[in-house]
Amino acid sequence: MAEGPTPLFINVYMYAINKASARVLGKSATVLSRCVTDDLWQYLVSRGLLPEKPSPEDLRRLFVETLGVARDVVYEEKSGEVIFTFKGVTLREFMEAIMKEKLQPVVCPFTSILAKACEEMSTGKLVIWKIEPLDTENLRVICRRTLN
């Protein structure tokens, strides 16, 4: 028997939460995601898993080495956007399901952590503009700066 939740359990759980949130809350699910992000951020910082002012390398280390959600994370900034490309994502079943159903993830706190981290690294608020599955193993998260 496996110790702790299996990758399949995590995939199924992510899918169910996102599907239900989209169906019940619609676009307002992003407010829920932001609240989860704030709580998750405090948890990661308090446990020493992420510094308060992380660098792109700190984020890569968190997602690749600590959490194991991807083989690599590539950071780029251009034209008011911050883009993270996750390569070799370990949430394959989740990715396949959302791509098949054309479901835009609405509650994905780990991707929201990226936006929060970018806010801490720079000035100005960022929001996740788009989560773009490139295929079943690669994902792009695009954050944009808000005007306020």
SS3 per-residue string spanning 50-63: CCCCCCHHHHHHHH
Assess if residue 74 is contained within a domain: yes
Assess if residue 11 is contained within a domain: yes
| Alpha-carbon distance values, 93 to 12, 67, 96 (Å) | 8, 17, 5
How many whole angstroms separate alpha carbon 32 and alpha carbon 37? Answer: 9
The residue range of the domain holding 103 is 7-145
| Alpha-carbon distance values, 44 to 63, 81, 84 (Å) | 12, 24, 19
CATH code at 137? 3.30.1380
Decide: pTM greater than 0.85. no
Assess if residue 28 is contained within a domain: yes
Assess if residue 31 is contained within a domain: yes
Assess if residue 97 is contained within a domain: yes
Assess if residue 19 is contained within a domain: yes
Question: In degrees, to the nearest 5, what angle opens at C-alpha 112 toward C-alphas 109 and 113?
Answer: 90
The SS3 assignment for 3 reads coil
Domain count across the chain: 1
Q: How does pLDDT run along the chain (148 residues), one tens digit per residue?
A: 557 778 888 888 888 888 888 888 887 777 777 788 888 899 999 999 999 888 889 999 999 999 888 899 999 988 878 888 999 988 778 878 877 888 777 666 667 787 778 777 765 677 778 878 888 788 888 888 776 5
Assess if residue 21 is contained within a domain: yes
Assess if residue 1 is contained within a domain: no
